[in-house]
Amino acid sequence: MEKFGPVRVGLLGIGTIGRGTFEVLRRNREEITRRGGRSIVITRVADVDVERARAIVGDHAEVCGDGAEIVSDPDIDIVVELIGGYTVAKDLVLAAIANGKHVVTANKAMLAVHGNRIFAEASKQGVMVAFEAAVAGGIPIIKATREGLAANRIERVAGIINGTTNFILTEMRDKGLGFEEALAQAQALGYAEADPTFDVEGVDAAHKITLLASLAFGVPIQFDKCHVEGIRGLRNIDVRYAEELGYRIKLLGIAIHREAQPDGPAGIELRVHPTLVPARRLLANVEGAMNAVWVRGDAVGDTIYYGKGAGAEPTASAVIADLVDVARMLTVDPDNRVPHLAFQPEALVDVPILPIDQARSACYLRIPVADQPGVLARITGHLADAGISIDAALQKAAEDECQTDVILLTHVSDERRILSAIEAIEAMPTVLGPVVRIRREELG
Amino acid sequence: MEKFGPVRVGLLGIGTIGRGTFEVLRRNREEITRRGGRSIVITRVADVDVERARAIVGDHAEVCGDGAEIVSDPDIDIVVELIGGYTVAKDLVLAAIANGKHVVTANKAMLAVHGNRIFAEASKQGVMVAFEAAVAGGIPIIKATREGLAANRIERVAGIINGTTNFILTEMRDKGLGFEEALAQAQALGYAEADPTFDVEGVDAAHKITLLASLAFGVPIQFDKCHVEGIRGLRNIDVRYAEELGYRIKLLGIAIHREAQPDGPAGIELRVHPTLVPARRLLANVEGAMNAVWVRGDAVGDTIYYGKGAGAEPTASAVIADLVDVARMLTVDPDNRVPHLAFQPEALVDVPILPIDQARSACYLRIPVADQPGVLARITGHLADAGISIDAALQKAAEDECQTDVILLTHVSDERRILSAIEAIEAMPTVLGPVVRIRREELG
């Protein structure tokens, strides 16, 4: 299947996300190759902790302690920077670019502060610097904003783009905790770092909304002009009062393109602060460490993108999507950069579509029955005979006083079993009509 | 700015979506050119109703009655097919491909039935057939699945991908209507067609989930194997019982990749049917004619994409995103297909980031006051003096019995006004401490 050799990747930094990237690339190698048309392999890793790095990668990659070796290695096609921070990372990324390497990075801090220079150098060298993982983890929000909504004059972007603070705010609301208690909780569960400043002060969200604002409105990156307020001062009483008024408090990154008005100039609002959001909005219902970004365009209207904003594998998902993007660009005929059906035509597989009688679902059943003792026992007996267990039951008086509706939620079972159980139930003399069956999916 | 001439587009069919595409392309021409690096212009339109077409496009495009003229026109780079249906549309698309034209289409019915052949021909000719608009309107779900989640072994996809049925189900729940009444409502409001069969029987959703399943799992398109149940038989009583049990009923398109199990073979479940969804899930809260698609990947976990699934401009947003994709591929250096910051580097603009004192927000204010008559009147007086009106007010006894919390929600005002009002309020002798101000955004 592979017309070309593997794309060779050098990884700078193999902490949590680096390890996730290494592991997902290996685990899904076949799937990724079927999409990108050639395999993507991490051949070299640099990390200050060489021993730990070796323990992770085994024989599968060469490990060194100095990233400079990797960014100048002529055998490396793409450099993945997962070191973080502003200094070493920036120097290595600029060196990689100068050496004509494509770069994939998850480093929002570096891009928010040095992005203009980095992108200018990359354009000069004709290389890509891809950064899907820098904003909202696994959610493909950069691709959506930059490509999916390209028809639109984007009017506003607002996002829950820091999982730590969203977790803290969710705890404050659900458990009535104060900020400090909720923070301690988040730290105990690994959702907040020992020094949580960047998260709770809103700096991390500000890095991200600054990048999104540039993508949305076509302006240079201007992190220093972002207004930033965190959640440290927030008191539980305000969370409660907001709730009474029909609102929830979320830390939002907000970017608004304001047209000139009689009472104000045209410009861009760029701010991060705790925000009351109506409880009925989807964004208000994004709980725990999840992220979501709302983008409004003049043509598309309101769109929302939801998913995990952090964590090893969700972030790795974004890093690897960027790698596939670069690999496709390096490889396939430009007329067919992305295959029509996502996978290379010769890589489509023949996994069968199962007939419906092999489908598996939980079910809702409504059974009209005579109001007599023992009916429910016989119905559940038929289900038990078919190997189907019951999740919940409800018995309701029907309009006709001799009739009752029995409503059952069953556990997951296959279609054949549920149909044979329904047949047996409908044959009961105390069952007064056809059983209504609606499938049920937990989606979680 | 333009190094290249415009990309010339021939439009087949200028009904609702065609008109939207024409209008959005003209309205956002500058924005789109800044992104794509060259302008995209509809130069020819074919429609059976030549007069109506002329009335829409005026002097801006040449109109004819025969699409065959356009698909063979050597001056046309991309053909946009918005005729719909299986026959004329298919013949014209195949002719366009045979003539080496790239194609953009919103036609899910055609692709669900003839997609394998169309994509095979396109691959042979080295042209793109882009179809973002075919699934979930303006939501960039094709791009997300095909590119954004390329790292993942996708496990399941479930979506509300038919706005008509979601509108009907929302009406049945909110207003207690029966199916027929809710359908009549949807028809009266333009959410359902006079012949609603394709929507209410689930066929339209089946076209879309069939396409999504191929993108997610890398299998050929197999619409004939999709199990389809619509909502026509659904009774309001089941909507109510589901609600009592903590569920909502949605018409879902579902595609699941099943690994082989002791009790069942490996394969793909592909089905459309009414489904009970737990009320707390985001998908259960997608109301009216909105669409949302949930995709679970092994690395990224759960992601959701939400937006308008139909309508002239949302669909045009997707059509034009595809046009920009093709235009970028036709034009720019392949090393820089998508600009780092979405817009071509030379097209970044200098719209200023406004200082925070020029920001505009609604606010939540908590004001600790002495429990005396007249305090609220004086506070609202200060706000009125600053030109700020009030949306809601709440007065709460504080722990200290001499103190009360006054909570106000203000309308949108600029930062300077609210800060000067707060200053005046804090100077009141009956105000016992600093005013807590949290901004509020309606996000709607």
A345 touches chain B (CB under 8 A): yes
Q: How far apart are the first and last CA of chain A?
A: 36
Question: Given an 8 Å threshold on Cβ–Cβ distance, is B269 in contact with A354?
Answer: yes
Q: Give the CA-trace dihedral at A192, A193, A199, A205, to 10 degrees.
A: -90
The DSSP 8-state label assigned to residue A82 in this structure reads: -
Average pLDDT score, chain B: 94
DSSP A86-142: SSHHHHHHHHHHHTT-EEEE--HHHHHHHHHHHHHHHHHHT--EE-GGGSSTTS-HH
Task: Summarize pLDDT for A149-166 with one digit per residue, the tens.
Answer: 999 999 999 999 999 999
d(CA B169, CA B176): 10
Would you tell me which residues 134-163 of chain A have a C-beta closer than 8 angstroms to some C-beta of chain B? Answer: 138-140, 143-153, 158
What are the two backbone dihedrals, phi and then psi, of residue A286, each rounded to the nearest 5 degrees? -85, 115
Q: Which residue has the tokens 């659904």?
A: B234
CB contact at 8 A, B303 and B294: yes
The answer to whether the beta carbons of residues A145 and A156 sit under 8 Å apart is: no
pLDDT in tens, B164-217: 999 999 999 999 999 999 999 999 999 999 999 999 999 999 999 999 999 999
Structural contact between residues B307 and B290, judged by C-beta atoms closer than 8 angstroms: yes
Spatial contact of B249 and B239, defined as CB atoms under 8 Å apart: yes
Instruction: Tell me whether B373 touches chain A (CB under 8 Å).
Output: no
pLDDT at A118: 98
Angle at B153 between CA B151 and CA B154, to 5 degrees: 105
| Nearest C-alpha neighbor of A13 from the set A57, A76, A77 | A57
ipTM of the complex: 0.96
- Beta-carbon-side half-sphere exposure of residue A435 (alpha carbons within 13 Å): 26
Which pLDDT score, from 0 to 100, does residue A221 have?
97
- The answer to whether the beta carbons of residues B126 and A335 sit under 8 Å apart is yes
A 10 A CB-CB count for B197 gives 12
Q: What is the dihedral of CA B281, B283, B287, B291, to 10 degrees?
A: 170
Average pLDDT over residues B121-126: 93
| B1 pLDDT more than 50 | no
The answer to whether residue A347 neighbours chain B at the CB level (below 8 Å) is: yes
DSSP single-letter state for residue B284: G
Question: Minimal Cα–Cα distance from A18 to chain B, Å?
Answer: 13
| The pLDDT value given to residue B336 | 55
CA–CA distance, A121 with B247 (Å, rounded to integer) = 53
Minimum Cα–Cα distance from A39: chain B residue: B151
Round to whole Å and give the CA distance between B326 and B12. Answer: 17
Q: CA-nearest residue of chain A to B102?
A: A335
Domains and CATH numbers, chain A: 7-137+314-347 (3.40.50.720), 142-307 (3.30.360.10), 356-440 (3.30.70.260)
Does B387 touch chain A if contact means CB atoms closer than 8 Å? no
Q: What is the pLDDT of residue B335?
A: 52
Q: Would the CA dihedral through B25, B28, B34, B35 be positive or negative?
A: negative
Closest CA to B229 of B210, B209, B252: B252
Among A residues 206-225, those touching chain B with beta carbons less than 8 Å apart = 213-222, 225
Nearest CA of chain A to the CA of B203: how many Å? 16
For residue A359, the model assigns a pLDDT of: 92
Tell me which chain A residues have a C-beta less than 8 angstroms from the C-beta of B366: 237-238, 241
pLDDT for the residue A1? 43
Note whether B341 contacts A: Cβ–Cβ < 8 A.
yes
Residues whose CB falls within 8 Å of the CB of residue A241, separated by 6 or more in sequence, listed in order: B364, B366, B394, B396, B405, B407
| B44, B74 contact by CB (below 8 A) | no
| Catalytic choice (A101, A208, A250, A308) | A208
CB-CB under 8 Å, B245 with A394: yes
Of residues A257, A264, A321, nearest to B149 (C-beta)? A321
Task: pLDDT tens for chain A, 444 residues: list them.
Answer: 456 789 999 999 999 999 999 999 999 999 999 998 889 999 999 999 999 999 999 999 999 999 999 999 999 999 999 999 999 999 999 999 999 999 999 999 999 999 999 999 999 999 999 999 999 999 999 999 999 999 999 999 999 999 999 999 999 999 999 999 999 999 999 999 999 999 999 999 999 999 999 999 999 999 999 999 999 999 999 999 999 999 999 999 999 999 988 877 889 999 999 999 999 999 999 999 999 999 999 999 999 999 999 999 999 999 999 999 998 888 756 555 788 999 988 888 989 999 999 999 999 999 999 988 899 999 999 999 999 999 999 998 766 778 899 999 999 999 999 999 999 999 999 999 999 999 999 998
- Asked if A244 is an interface residue toward chain B (Cβ–Cβ < 8 A), one would say yes
Measured between beta carbons, which residues in chain B are less than 8 angstroms from residue A37?
A: none
User: What is the per-residue pLDDT across B202-214, written as a single tens digit (0 to 9) for each?
Assistant: 999 999 999 999 9
For residue A327 the two structure tokens come to: 């690999």
Pick A348's closest partner by Cβ from B219, B273, B298. B219
**Within a 10 A sphere around the Cβ of A322, how many other Cβ atoms?**
30
Q: What is the rounded average pLDDT of the residues B351-371? A: 94
Chain B residues lying within 8 Å of A360, measured CB to CB: 258, 264, 269
DSSP bridge pairs for A42: A9
Cβ-proximal residues to A138 (8 Å cutoff; 6+ apart), any chain: A307, A308, A309, A311, A313, A314, A315, A317, A318, B297, B299, B300, B301, B303
The pLDDT of residue B260 is above 90: no
Overall size of chain B counted in residues: 444
The number of beta carbons lying within 10 Å of the beta carbon of residue A201 is 17
Is any Cβ of chain B less than 8 angstroms from the Cβ of A128? yes
Q: What are phi and psi of B393, to 5 degrees?
A: -140, 150
The 3-state DSSP class for residue A44 equals: strand
Greater pLDDT, A329 or B413: B413
Q: Write out chain B residues lying below 8 Å of A124, CB-based.
A: none
Chain A positions in Cβ-Cβ contact with residue B299 (cut-off 8 Å):
20, 24, 28, 138, 313-314, 316-317, 320
pLDDT of residue A315: 97
A359 to chain B, any CB pair closer than 8 A? The answer is: yes
C-alpha span between A180 and B1 (Å, rounded): 53
